[in-house]
Amino acid sequence: MATRAPKKLDEQALFDYGVRLLGGAAHSSGEIRERLRRKAASMKDVDLVVARLKDLGYLNDRKFADAWAASRLENEGHGRTRVLRDLRQRRVAPNVAENAVRKAYSDTDETALIEQFLARRFRGRDLPAYLAEEKNLANAFRRLRYAGFSAGASIRVLKRFAKREEVLDALEGEESEPASEE
């Protein structure tokens, strides 16, 4: 059975496709551009369609990044680094992403955010007893780093639960980048 190559779209069909994508969920300009490239008959049509979507106000990376950062802070309690990394993965320009994160987190106490994250992530457990074990403490530290919290603030909060603080000091030394979630 032979498979047919997908039909390439002209400018108007590409515009309609872009509007459908944006109607389903918010996307950055970079994401829309990439999706349109896969379907376009002509690459020049991609630039024209993206410009048209921006002119009509359907595509605005600044608003997208502001909404994304605020949502990740309010709904998921992620740290700055995670939100910035996610925005970059969604192809938002670095300066736009950094401004959005700075604005969203301007009045946020990272220590309080970490405490809320731990309470939510380990709900149903006796947190002091659970984190008294070294392996659980290390696991909590990795989860905090992956969630975008700074190593220093994470360690300050976790030291309240540690039996041996040197375990956390050792973790700080080996953690230069956020760990990947398993």
61-81 pLDDT, tens digit each: 999 999 999 999 999 999 999
User: Which pLDDT band holds residue 172 (cuts at 50, 70, 90)?
Assistant: low
Q: Determine which of 97-106, 123-132, 140-149 has the lowest per-residue pLDDT on average.
A: 123-132
136-157 pLDDT, tens digit each: 988 999 999 999 999 999 999 9
Rounded to the nearest 10 degrees, the angle between the axes of helix 80-89 and helix 61-71 is: 140
What's the pLDDT at 174?
A: 55
Question: Residue 3 has which token pair?
Answer: 């498979």
Residues in the chain: 182
Over residues 93-116, mean pLDDT: 95
7 exposure class (CB count in 10 Å sphere: 0-12, 13-18, 19+) = exposed
Instruction: Return the SS3 of 128.
Output: helix
